[in-house]
Amino acid sequence: MLVRPLSLLLLFGLPAISWGQNPRPEVDQAEISPAEELQRLVTARDALTAKIDRLRKTAGLPQQVCVSVKFLELSLNEARRANLQIEGVDTKTLQPFRFAKLLFPAGQAQQVGGDVSTGAHLLENDQRLDKVLADLKKAGAVRLIAEPTVMSLSGRPAAFHSGGEFPILATQADGKTATQHRRYGTHVDITPVVLGNGKIKLDLHPEVSELDPKLNVTTNGVTVPGLRSRGIRTHIEMKSGQTYLLSGLVQQGKNKTADGEPEEIELVVIVKAEIVDPLLR
Q: What's the pLDDT at 18?
A: 45
Q: What's the pLDDT at 105?
A: 55
Tell me what percent of the residues of the chain surpass a pLDDT of 90: 27
Q: Give the range among 88-102, 152-166, 255-269 with minimum mean pLDDT.
A: 88-102
Backbone angles phi, psi at 142, to 5 degrees: -130, 145
Measured in whole angstroms, the distance separating CA 112 from the mean position of its chain's CA atoms is 14
| pLDDT tens, position by position, 3-12 | 444 444 444 4
pLDDT: which is higher, 224 or 9: 224
| pLDDT tens, position by position, 63-73 | 899 999 999 99
Q: How confident is the model at residue 110 (pLDDT cuts 50, 70, 90)?
A: very low
Q: What's the rounded Cα separation, in Å, for the pair 92 and 77?
A: 9
| pLDDT tens, position by position, 149-188 | 999 999 999 999 999 998 888 878 887 888 888 999 999 9
Q: What's the pLDDT at 57?
A: 64
**pLDDT beyond 60 at 254:** yes
- Taking residues 196-209, what's their average pLDDT? 91
| pLDDT tens, position by position, 42-64 | 788 777 767 766 666 666 667 89
- Taking residues 197-204, what's their average pLDDT? 91
Whether 244 and 271 have beta carbons less than 8 Å apart is answered as yes
Listing DSSP states for 20-83 in one string gives SS-S-TTS-GGGS-HHHHHHHHHHHHHHHHHHHHHHHHHHTPPPEEEEEEEEEEEEHHHHHHHT
Q: What's the pLDDT at 12?
A: 45
Q: What's the rounded Cα separation, in Å, for the pair 31 and 100?
A: 44
Q: Is the dihedral of CA 119, 125, 127, 130 positive or negative?
A: positive
Q: What's the pLDDT at 184?
A: 93
DSSP tally for the chain: helices H, then strands E: 4, 15
